[in-house]
């Protein structure tokens, strides 16, 4: 059963009171906070919240209000968003195979999250891309490595970019010559890709800003 808006307000107050004052409120304090004129108003709300299983009341005990874990499901939208953002700031999505046409950070592309903050890298990383193939071997970027990528469409000559060419994601060094873009591998076994920008579109997904090898169940040592 869901909480009413008023009940959610009361629950928010309980949480705030606990976090700011270090103890649960009395009925009288709830009354004062909401401008009620009767302690029963507070009591009724507490009973309703208990019945719905989000708090626990300890009979007889002053301030005997306990927030249960389930109460977190009823966090206000704003708080939920803030929490999710805080959690995301401490981890990076790992992008594996990229489905054709889909945005690189769309749900199906994200394999998992890696517990490393994006601003560990400079400029900050927005996601990690699992490298496929040996085309950047001589730049120390190997098959299976996780490439930290700063998501931006702006790239300059000489930077290592993550680019999308006809729905293929590729990591290369960018070279711009007038209306021509060259995507240079770092491996003599591969050939440069030449893109005539007046006829084809080259989508720059981001810049390589770092690299992780050997994490997440892909042991280097056996």
Partner DNA sequence: GGATGTGCTGTATGGATATACAGTGGTCCC
Partner DNA sequence: GGGACCACTGTATATCCATACAGCACATCC
Q: Give the residue numbers marked as catalytic.
A: 135, 172
Residue selected from 79, 114, 165, 193 as contacting a second copy according to rule CB under 8 A: 114
115-119, Cβ contacts within 8 angstroms, sequence gap of 24 or more: 115/90, 115/91, 116/91, 116/92, 116/212, 117/89, 117/90, 117/91, 117/92, 118/89, 118/92, 119/89
Q: Which residues contact 2 (CB under 8 A, 6 or more apart)?
A: none
- 123 contact choice in a second copy, DNA, none (CB below 5 to 8 Å, kind-dependent): a second copy
Q: Does 70 bind DNA (CB under 7 A)?
A: no
Residue selected from 27, 126, 150, 172 as contacting DNA according to rule CB under 7 A: 27
CB of 100 or CB of 221, closer to a second copy: 221
CB of 44 or CB of 154, closer to DNA: 44
Min dist. Cβ of residue 35 to DNA (A): 7
- What is the C-alpha to C-alpha distance for residues 68 and 38, in angstroms, rounded to an integer? 26
Cβ atoms of 31 and 39 within 8 Å: the answer is yes
Residue whose token pair is 């890298």 = 121
Q: Which residues contact 215 (CB under 8 A, 6 or more apart)?
A: 114, 146
Min dist. Cβ of residue 99 to a second copy (A): 27
The answer to whether the bond into 123 is cis (omega within 30° of 0) is yes
Structure tokens at 107: 């749900």
Residue selected from 5, 22, 188, 219 as contacting DNA according to rule CB under 7 A: 5
- What is the C-alpha to C-alpha distance for residues 28 and 208, in angstroms, rounded to an integer? 58
Q: Does 216 bind a second copy (CB under 8 A)?
A: yes
CB of 9 or CB of 111, closer to DNA: 9
Footprint on residues 50-109 left by a second copy (CB under 8 A) = 61-67
CB of 52 or CB of 66, closer to a second copy: 66
- What is the C-alpha to C-alpha distance for residues 101 and 76, in angstroms, rounded to an integer? 35
Residues near DNA (CB under 7 A)? 4-7, 26-29, 34-45, 48, 51, 57, 59-64
Residues near a second copy (CB under 8 A)? 18, 21-24, 26, 61-67, 114-117, 120-123, 137, 140-142, 145, 148, 150, 159-160, 207-221
């Amino acid at each position: 059963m869901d909480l009413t808006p008023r009940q959610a307000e009361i629950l928010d107050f309980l949480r705030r009171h606990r976090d700011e004052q270090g103890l649960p409120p009395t009925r009288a304090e709830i009354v004062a906070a909401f401008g009620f004129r009767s302690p029963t108003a507070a009591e009724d709300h507490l009973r309703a919240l208990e019945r719905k299983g989000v708090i626990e009341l300890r009979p007889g005990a002053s301030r005997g209000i306990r927030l249960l874990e389930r109460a977190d499901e009823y966090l206000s939208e704003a708080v939920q968003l803030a929490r999710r953002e805080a959690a995301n700031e401490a981890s990076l999505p790992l992008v594996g195979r990229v489905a054709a046409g889909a945005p690189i950070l769309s749900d199906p592309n994200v394999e998992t999250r890696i517990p490393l903050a994006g601003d560990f890298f400079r400029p900050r990383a927005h996601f990690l891309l699992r490298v496929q193939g040996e085309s950047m071997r001589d730049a120390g970027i190997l098959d299976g490595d996780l490439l930290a990528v700063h998501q931006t469409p702006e790239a300059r000559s000489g930077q290592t970019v993550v680019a999308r060419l006809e729905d293929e994601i590729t990591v290369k060094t960018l070279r711009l010559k007038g209306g021509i873009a060259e995507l240079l591998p770092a491996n003599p076994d591969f050939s440069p890709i030449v893109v005539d920008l007046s006829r084809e579109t080259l989508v720059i997904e981001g810049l390589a800003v770092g690299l992780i090898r050997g994490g997440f169940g892909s042991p280097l040592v056996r």
